[in-house]
Amino acid sequence: MAADPNVQLVLDCHTDLGESPVWDARTGRLYFVDINEKRIHVYTPADKQHFTIDAPSTVGCVVPTTDPNLLLAALGSNVVEVNVEKRKTGRIVAFVSTDDNAEGTRFNDGKATPQGVFIVGRMNRAWRDGQPGKLFAMDLRVPGNTFGLLTILGPTEVCCPNGMDWDQDKGIFYFIDTADSVVRSYPVDENGVPKRSTDGVLVGVREASSHCMTLPHLANSCTLSARAYLHPFCAAAAMHYIHSKQLGRKTCRVCRVSHDVAASLSWCTHELWVLVCQSPLVKCLAW
């Protein structure tokens, strides 16, 4: 099968395990990480400037903060500040407990809610054998303190936490557990965090509606476009796709990206950009 003509190479960055692309419209920068190589990548499409920031341990994801020059990175067992201008990591602002830092665990994908709460997953490298993970929350809006991370999805509720995004108008959080490749929707509270009842039970989780998709291959990531299209990203052994589904309809479009190992995706302005793990950053032109 020929490569899709709507997919264009942007940056041949040769990551080993590229993940967590996030677009910051204030600075015109795309940030992403190379988990295994312990690097944070910074790319500016306007002038094609690209540089990396070394991290002291595996880095699962980065998120922008209210300071355009400051990121938060989930690495090792900590969440740390990253100074983009100085190109170095800084102080620890949150951390996991000793129990959640067991051998074989690491941070995975994460994003900030529209209200400014950092949501990040922690996974076990043996997730294919059923070893569970967790999803944590940290409030980015209260500077200057050290926090622990609050568990919002426990080990009975998630195995391999991965892609996520929010529909703020509908008050819905979309979340992928790669272990079963289902995109689930969760009603959220005023902070963008999944709601629970007074007895601690998750409220309104959907697994069989227009707000839930069971995907044909391992699902890694998802993002929501300005036109209310949910774009989950699926990886298979030989071919990798983007599946796009307009919420509330049964329509679906498929775009073939490459034969390489797939990773994650993000919106940059009005274009869907996809990070392919062991080679390039590409963008899809016809979405």
Rounded CA separation 54/72 (Å): 14
Pairing of strands 134-139, 147-148: unpaired
Contacts by 202-205, CB closer than 8 A, 24 or more apart: 202/153, 202/157
Pairing of strands 172-177, 161-167: antiparallel
Q: Which residue has the higher pLDDT, 272 or 172?
A: 172
Q: What are phi and psi of 267, to 5 degrees?
A: -90, 130
pTM: 0.80
- For residue 256, with 0-12 CB atoms within 10 Å meaning exposed, 13-18 middle and 19 or more buried, which class applies? middle
With a CB cutoff of 8 Å and minimum separation 6, the contacts of 89 are 53, 55, 56, 73, 75, 80, 81, 82, 83
Kindly state the tokens that stand for 199: 């007895």
Answer yes or no: is pLDDT of 257 > 70. Answer: no
Q: Which residue has the higher pLDDT, 272 or 164?
A: 164
Element (H or E) spanning 200, and its range?
Answer: none
- Residue-level pLDDT at 278: 46
- The CA–CA distances, whole Å, from 257 to 71, 183, 215, 225, 227 equal 29, 20, 17, 18, 22
Answer yes or no: is pLDDT of 57 > 60. Answer: yes
pLDDT tens track for 201-228: 998 888 533 344 444 445 555 665 544 4
